[in-house]
A and B are shown apart, each in its own frame.
Chain A
Amino acid sequence: MNNAECIKLSFPVNPAYVSSARLTVSSIANRVRFDIDEIEDIKTAVQEACIYIIKRSANVPKSNFEICFTPGDKEMHIEIVAEDNLGNLVNELQEGFNDEMSLMMIKALVDEFAITKPSNDKISIVMHKKHKEVLFSD
């Protein structure tokens, strides 16, 4: 996906705007010609990633999180980055940190998924979805 265009949006850490993120990704996924089921998967994965981020960032006053959509040829890359003040992610995941249902849904709906901490005060969720036909031809 070198030289791919990136659509970057910033949302307040406020549940009221999660549906806006969902509708935006739906429109972009439609441009990449995902089918209706795939678009539904991507919408739900973005919704759940936003929920996860909002729960983790809830105590950071007046913060925003950024979503970067990178549409490619028959694939889409999505990265969500936010402030994070809940400490060591790796330990929390190992201890069965909450939001298991969100993570379970994201894992099932996209082809690649990772949560990382690019720095002590940031959290990043990366998701990648390919067209079904690309997956079957791999």
Chain B
Amino acid sequence: MYFLEGKKFIMDLAIEKTYNGNNWQVKLCGEIDIVNSAEFKSQLTNLIEEHVADIHIDCTGLEYIDSTGLGALVGILKNTKSHGKEVRLSFVKPNILKLFRITNLDKVFIIEEGDKDE
């Protein structure tokens, strides 16, 4: 893990987290895969300990996610819901949205319309 311009990087993934007083805004850039999914889950699970709030994840820069990354997101969602809050995903690329649909996770997550590639 390393830091650059205030963003926290884990292998092949940059996570920018800000709390705006109402909810967490998380921007992802890179890939979530078997190498970094556990660290990704840990970082986002810890947010709720800091401020109990909804988590909005901007996936504009998310290029790839595998089943371990999807599993990490499900873990984050469960933890957030256990505090009565939600996880929202936005700007999900078509190749990633396809994986949510295949695994039926599109029915579990709130995925906001708006694909910057369309």
Contact = CB atoms under 8 A, between A and B. Distances in A.
Contacts of A16: 35
A92 B31 CA distance: 31
Contact of B99 (A44, A54, A99): A44
A75 interface: no
Query: Would you call the interface of chain A mostly helix, strand, loop, or mixed?
Result: helix
A101 B70 contact: yes
30 contacts: A15-B33, A15-B34, A15-B35, A18-B33, A18-B34, A18-B35, A19-B12, A19-B31, A19-B33, A19-B35, A37-B95, A40-B95, A44-B99, A47-B33, A47-B66, A48-B66, A48-B67, A51-B66, A51-B67, A51-B68, A54-B34, A99-B67, A101-B67, A101-B70, A101-B71, A102-B67, A104-B103, A105-B99, A108-B102, A109-B102
B34 A105 contact: no
Report the interface size class on chain A: 10 to 19
Contact of A105 (B31, B33, B35, B102): B102
A54 B34 CA distance: 10
B118 to A, nearest CB: 15
A109 to B, nearest CB: 7
Report the interface size class on chain B: 10 to 19
Contact of A51 (B31, B34, B95, B99): B34
Nearest to A109: B102
Contacts of A109: 102
Contacts of A104: 102-103
B29 to A, nearest CB: 16
Contacts of B68: 51
A104 B103 CA distance: 7
A15 B68 CA distance: 11
A5 to B, nearest CB: 28
Interface in A45-68: 47-48, 51, 54
Nearest to B94: A37
Nearest to B101: A108
Contacts of B67: 48, 51, 99, 101-102, 105
Nearest to A47: B66
